[in-house]
Amino acid sequence: MSTADSATETAVAPAAVAPAAARPARRRPPAGVLVAAAWLAVIALAALLLPLLPGFDPLHGDFAHPSAAPGPGHWLGTDAAGRDVLQRTVAGARASFTVAGLTILVGLLGGGALGLAAGWFRGPLDKAVGFATDLLMSVPSLILVMIAVSLRGPGLTVIGTLIGLFTVPHFTRVVRAVVLSLDERGFVQAARMIGTAPSRLLRREIVPHVAPVALTFAFTATTVAIVAEGSLSFLGFGLRPPEPSWGGIIAEGRTTLGSAPWISLAPAAVLCLTVLALNYLGEHLRPGGPAVPKEVRG
């Protein structure tokens, strides 16, 4: 009998003679999960609550103190126009999370529906969905979002929807694979044979198995959205300046990298830590524990 120790990612069976050891009961969340969750909570609360404070104005320039180093008054310093980097970073979080929310919505609904349909009905529909995912994946996604922004004007809705659209193929594949594997294991066939209604089958068999995948997807999609929005704003295809977003602030600071590196590096650090926290949670909250990502052949 082998025991797979999921926490260390090693999952190596000891000798064939080892008897089945009682699998340890669901362990307490590791400290890392709590730290990651706390970080995300701080960012989210700051993005929600700080703008309500009097004196919060990420667009207000303190012309007396341009490019001021971090210190009291301006904890993360000010940018070249004297705007508070901390306030702008907090405001930028709103942009990032708005885009992420839209991405998850589009990705979950679109990918979930397509994946379920393809896995359930198989045949021509499956082929059509496969073709559509091929199509979407052969298009240079970043360029396409840039084109859309350039034609329709900058805005969180356009960006979030399109980034979501480009996550659809990945999500479709995963959901389809889950449905097919359930079918292979006889769940679906058995249920069909004993006359279970499709809606019940969906509720009792499919959804519980797809949900963990959806959870993992939500974390991944959030990081994808944050990074993509950052990249777009960085390239000047995000929000209209001076409206703050993480990529935008980082891009604005690159010209003064020599004299005032905090303008870029502070929001960049916040962005990296947020993505790290999301990755960490996604990895550790997934049922079955963390695993090394294995690229599935497409």
Partner 1 sequence: MTSAPVLDVRSLDTVLHTPDGRALHVLHDVSLTIAAGECLGVVGESGSGKSVLARTVLGVGSRTTRAVATGEIRLGGEDLLAATPARRAALLGTGIAMVHQDPMTSLNPVVRIADQVTESLTSRRRLSRRERLRTAAELLAAVDVPDPARRARAHPHELSGGLRQRVGIAAALAGEPALLLADEPTTALDVTVQRTVLDLLDHHRRSRGLATLLITHDIGLLYGRARRIAVMYGGRIVETGPTEAVTARPRHPYTAALLRSVPRVTGPLRRTLPAIPGSPPDLTRPTPGCPFAPRCDRATPVCGMTPPPTHIAAEGHTADCHHPLTAPEELEPAA
Partner 2 sequence: MTPTARAALRHGGRAARAAAVLLLVTVGALALPHLMPGSPAVAALGPTATPAQLAAYESRLGLDRDVFAATWQWIADALHGDLGHSLSTGTAVTTELADRIPVTLELFLAAQLVALCLAVPVALLSAWRPGGTFDRIATAGTFGWLAVPGFALGLLLIWIAAVQLRILPATGWTPFTEDPAENLRHLVLPALTLGLTEAAVFTRTLRGQLLDTLDQPYIAAARSRGMGTTRLLLRRALRPSSLPLVTLVGIGIGTSLGGSVLVESLFAVPGVGSLAAGAITGRDFPVVQAVVVVSAVGVVAATFVVDLLYRTIDPRIAHEHR
Q: By CB under 8 A, name the binding residues for partner 1.
A: 1, 3, 5, 8, 10, 12-19, 21
Please report how close the Cβ of residue 2 comes to partner 1 at its closest, in angstroms. 10
State the binding partner of 14 from partner 2, partner 1, none, CB within 5 to 8 A by kind.
Answer: partner 1
State the binding partner of 272 from partner 2, partner 1, none, CB within 5 to 8 A by kind.
Answer: partner 2
Please report how close the Cβ of residue 46 comes to partner 2 at its closest, in angstroms. 19
Taking the C-alpha atoms of residue 165 and residue 151, their distance in angstroms, rounded to an integer, is 17
Taking the C-alpha atoms of residue 77 and residue 67, their distance in angstroms, rounded to an integer, is 7
Which residue, 211 or 269, has its beta carbon nearer to partner 2?
269
Which residue, 1 or 42, has its beta carbon nearer to partner 1?
1
State the binding partner of 184 from partner 1, partner 2, none, CB within 5 to 8 A by kind.
Answer: none
> Which one, of 162, 171, 167, 129, lies nearest residue 143 by Cα?
162
Which residue, 17 or 31, has its beta carbon nearer to partner 1?
17
State the binding partner of 295 from partner 2, partner 1, none, CB within 5 to 8 A by kind.
Answer: partner 2
Please report how close the Cβ of residue 294 comes to partner 1 at its closest, in angstroms. 18
State the binding partner of 26 from partner 2, partner 1, none, CB within 5 to 8 A by kind.
Answer: none
State the binding partner of 39 from partner 1, partner 2, none, CB within 5 to 8 A by kind.
Answer: none
State the binding partner of 195 from partner 1, partner 2, none, CB within 5 to 8 A by kind.
Answer: none
User: Does residue 26 come out as left (phi exceeding 0), alpha (psi in the -120 to 50 range) or beta?
Assistant: beta
Which residue, 108 or 145, has its beta carbon nearer to partner 2?
145
Please report how close the Cβ of residue 204 comes to partner 2 at its closest, in angstroms. 32
Which residue, 26 or 294, has its beta carbon nearer to partner 2?
294
**What residues line the site for partner 2 (CB under 8 A)?**
8-13, 131, 134-135, 137-144, 146-148, 150-152, 223, 227, 230-231, 234-237, 247, 250-251, 254, 257-258, 261, 264-265, 268, 271-273, 275-276, 279-280, 283, 291-295, 297-298
Which residue, 217 or 237, has its beta carbon nearer to partner 2?
237
Which residue, 196 or 279, has its beta carbon nearer to partner 2?
279
Please report how close the Cβ of residue 110 comes to partner 2 at its closest, in angstroms. 17
> Which one, of 97, 211, 114, lies nearest residue 167 by Cα?
114
Q: Which residues make Cβ contacts (< 8 Å) with residue 56, sequence separation at least 6?
A: 50, 87
Q: Which residues pair with 78 in a beta bridge?
A: 84
